[in-house]
Every structure is written in structure tokens, then in C-alpha cells.
Amino acid sequence: MTAPLRGPGFDKLRQLADVVYDPWIEQTPLRIYGPEQLAERIAAEAADVVVVESDSVRGPVFELNLRAIASTRGDPNNVDVDGATAAGIPVLNTPGRNADAVAEMAVALLLGATRHLLAADADVRSGNTFRDGSIPYQRFRGWEIAGRTAGLVGLGAVGRATRWRLAGLGMRVIAHDPYNDEARHSLDELLAEADVVSLHAPVTDGTAGMIGAREFAAMRDGVVFLNTARAQLHDTDALVEALRGGKVAAAGLDHFVGEWLPTDHPLVGMPNVVLTPHIGGATWNTEARQAQMVADDLEALLDGGTPAHIVNPEVLAS
């Protein structure tokens, strides 16, 4: 098991199997196995079940007569599912494992950006509470989010978890998602109505770059833009221009292409932008939740049943 796991689910896994636990995220420097390295490690441990989060599972791994592969992701894109299916190996996944965590991050970015939290914190820490003879109450006034409209682009597990949180804060919440009947707005309708636009879609051929210059121009003046999904969903250059022109009043971003942002990037110098390094799902609860999901599904599989979360159930018939 190279995925980070904890809690009752991890205890259950130890009851189900002899566990070799070596989480990738606790290694310095970080360690992510390629297929050949992972296959060598599986063979060395004589393992017949592998639980991964970031390691690449394909090719030689499928030659090892595994009983199951579990990827602690909603979309197990680190696993060659077709290859596993051809080898007759069930692939388990953990959809929604970090939905609450990412939804909380979206709320945090929204409040951080609209209530100037980082700038206010910096003034306190640097002894500039009364910067240039002004008082904080003058410099950091903002609009309340209660009574405003939030538009969610994507209404999967994270979008739904974000929806009830924003509704609980007094916001009207609308959504666009062609795969969810509860989302009744087209993208154009959402952009025309929303005071806050928050992205929660997966990156696909149809969604990559879906928010570009045209879409930013179609948003309401003074909109707040949030992306806790993937940076590939929006055109960053277009966002910068929208921020410079005032169309977008503030932004909160939890992901960047390549997993980092150059220190000389225009976004870095913008005080109305909150930037976090892809930590939306980084909670202990996420690790406990994914452990429980894997444990329950592995138990079902070993008992001859059908796991609740399996991406290739057709292998069970064989």
C-alpha cells in the first residue's frame, strides 16, 4: 500500500490482509513509482493486492497475477484500466473521497479573496495596521456574500458538497453540468447571472480551456472567480487580463499547470488573488475516508460480492 491511509478503514485493511504500508507522500524526496519500479516492488513483497494514489499502474504490473488494484482517486487516471481489464484484474476507486475537503477550500478561497484576509494578516504581522495613516476598516471593506448568486460549473461530488455550504451561507446557488439533471443552467446563462463563478469540472477534451476570454467577458462586472479543480479548465492569460481590467474583482486558485506558479507571474503581484498550491484535498479526513472505502470494497471483493466502487465490473463475471 503506497497510498496514505489512516483511521478505522486502515485498521480494517490490516485485518483483511498482511499489509506492507509505505506511503509515497511520506518519502523525502517524494517517491512516485513508474510501472517497472512498481512491478519490481510488488514482486519483491509477493503482494497480490496493490493500493496506490500516485504510482503508475500499467504494463508489467498486469503480469503479476494481482487479485485487485485500488486507486485512491475518484478518476483512477494513474491506472491503465483497459490493461487491467484485459488481465482480468478488478480496479477499485474512491469517488468523492475529498469532496468535503475541496468544498471547504472553495469556501476558504471565496472568503479569503472577498474579505482581504491575506493582506489584512500581512499588515498585522508587519506592524502596518494603520498603513499610510488609514485605519483597517477603511482599507478592507468588502461585499458580503449572503444574498449573492454563486454559479457552479460542474455538479459532481465536489460541486454538490460546495452547493450546500454556499447555500448555508445565504447564497443563491445555480449550476451548469450537462451530465446532471439538477444543473438547469447553460454555461452562458450561468455566467450572466453569477456573482461568483466556481469551477468543479473534470478536465476532458470538452472542458479543457472552457473558460477563456469570451467567457470572462460574458461574466458580470466585479465577479469573483474560483478554481479548486484544475488550471487547465481556464485560460490563465485571459484571467489575468480580466483581473487587470476589473471585470474579475477577485480570484482564488488552488491549482496551476505543472503544479507550480513562477514567482514573476502576474498573478503573484495581485493583492486581490489568493493562491494555494493544490491543497484542497489535503486533510486527514480524506486519508481516512479513502481507507474506509478501499477496505469495504476489498472486503466485498474477497467475499465474492460486488464492490460499491469498481470501474471495470465486467471482470467479475469471469
* 3-state SS record for 146-208: CCCEEEEECCCHHHHHHHHHHHHCCCEEEEECCCCCCCCCCHHHHHHHCCEEEECCCCCCCCC
The answer to whether 31 and 11 have CB atoms below 8 angstroms apart is: no
Q: What letter represents residue 105's amino acid?
A: M
List Cβ neighbours of 53 (8 Å cut-off, separation of 6 or more): 2, 3, 4, 23, 24, 25, 71, 72, 73, 78
Q: Are 301 and 16 in contact (CB under 8 A)?
A: no
Instruction: Give which of 216, 239, 200, 220 is closest to 105, Cα–Cα.
Output: 200
Phi, psi dihedrals of residue 234, rounded to the nearest 5°: -125, 160
Residues 6+ positions from 80 with CB-CB distance below 8 Å: 57, 58, 59, 62
- Which grid coordinates are listed for 312? 471495470
The span from the CA of 302 to the CA of 186, in Å, is: 44
Query: Is residue 89 a contact partner of residue 71, using CB atoms and an 8 Å limit?
Result: no
DSSP state of 231: G
The catalytic residues are 230, 259, 278
Map grid coordinates 445565504 to a residue.
170
Q: Are 192 and 216 in contact (CB under 8 A)?
A: no
CA–CA gap between residue 48 and residue 301 (Å, rounded): 13
